[in-house]
Amino acid sequence: MTIDHASAVFDVVAELLTQLTGDTDVLGIEITPDTTFHEDLQLESIDLVTFASILAEHFGADVNLAEYLAEKDLDDVIGLTVGDIARFVGERTCPR
């Protein structure tokens, strides 16, 4: 995965998240790789489900967040960052 690819994917993931939450602009939150879903964006696990389908729709069925999350226990899910997701999406969409 190239640096360019990674940063492009991150930008898309961040943009999709901004659309999902809809209030990052008001709150002045800048989404960075360290931004957490639960603590920073106040998203619940049910919102991750929504985000999973948004990702699949945008990047295709290969980006299966469900499989990624399967390996995580609850604490990992709570601590999940935007960077984690972007990295996962990047790996799945890396042009080989």
Partner 1 sequence: MSQEPVAIVGMGVFLPGASTVDQYWRNVVGGVDAVTEIPAHRRDPAFHGHDGTAPDRTHGRRGGFAPEFIEFDPVAHGVPPTSLEGTEPDQLTALAVAVHAVDDAGGLGRLGDPERIGVVLGRGGYLSPGLRGFDQRVRTVRQITRTVGELLPSAGPDVLDRLRTALLEPLGEFRPETAAGLVPNLAAARVANRLDLGGPAYTVDAACASSLVAVDHAIGELTRRRCDVVLAGGAHQTHDDTLWSLFTQLGALSPSQRISPLSREADGMLIGEGTALVVLKRLADARRDGDRVYAVVRGSGTSSDGRGASLLSPSVAGQTLALRRAWEGRDPAEIGLLEAHGTATPAGDAAELTTVADVFGQAGGTRSVIGSVKSMIGHTLPTAGVAGLVKVALALHHGVLPPTLHCADPNPLLDKTRFRVLAEAEEWGALPRVGAVNAFGFGGVNAHVVLEAGVDAAPKRRVRVDEPERVLRLAANTPEELLARLDRPGEGDGDGLCRIGIVGPDERKLATARKVLAKVAATGKPWHGGGDVWCSVDPLLPSGKIAFVHPGLEDGAEPRIDDVAAHFGLDRPQWSTATVLDRATSVSATGLVLDQALRRLAIRPDALAGHSVGEWTAMQAAGMYRAAPDLPARYWPDGFELPDADYLVLGCPVERVTELLPDDLVVSHENAAKQTIVCGPPESVAKFAETCRGTGIVARTLPFRSGFHTPLMRPYLAPFARLAADLDLREPTLPVWSATTARPYPAEPDAVRELYLVHLIRPVRFRALTEALHDAGFRAFVQVGAGQLGSYVTDTLGERRHLVVAAASGTRPGLAQLRRVATALWVEGGSPDFEALEPRRIRLTTGNSLLSLGESARGLLDDRALPELPAGVPDAIVAEFTALLTETRQTAADVVAAAARRRVESTVDVSLAAMPYLRDHRFFRQRDGWPDESDFRPVVPATTLVDLACRAAERAWPGTTAVAVRDAVFSRWLIASPAQRVPLSMSREGDDVTVEIGPYALMTVELGTYAPPPSRTAVPGPETEPPLSAAEIYARREMFHGPSYQGLARLTGLGEQHIRGELVVPEAPGGLLDNVGQLLGCWLMATRPDGLLAFPRSIGRLTWHGPEPAPGTRLECLVRVRLPRPDVLEMTAELARDGRVLASVEGWRDVRFPCDRAAHRVYAFPAENLLAERRDDGSVTVTDRWPTVAARDIYAGIYLSASERAEFAAVPPRRQRGWLLERIAAKDAVRARLAEPVYPAEIRVHADGRVSGRGRALPGFAVTVDLTGDTATARLRSTP
**Would you tell me which residues interact with partner 1 (CB under 8 A)?**
23, 25-28, 39, 42, 44-50, 52-53, 56, 61, 64-67, 69-70, 74, 77
Which residue number, 11 or 67, has a Cβ lying nearer to partner 1? 67
Query: How far is Cα 11 from Cα 7, in angstroms, rounded to an integer?
Result: 6
| Closest approach of partner 1 to the CB of residue 69, in Å | 6
Backbone angles phi, psi at 85, to 5 degrees: -65, -45
List CB contacts of 62: < 8 A, sequence separation 6 or more: 92, 93
Least distance (Å) between residue 56 CB and partner 1: 5
CB nearer to partner 1: pick between 32 and 45: 45
Least gap, CB of 87 to partner 1 (angstroms): 18
Instruction: Quote the CA–CA distance of 78 and 1 in Å, as a whole number.
Output: 27
Q: Do 84 and 38 meet the contact criterion of CB atoms below 8 Å apart?
A: no
CB of 45 to partner 1, least distance (A): 6
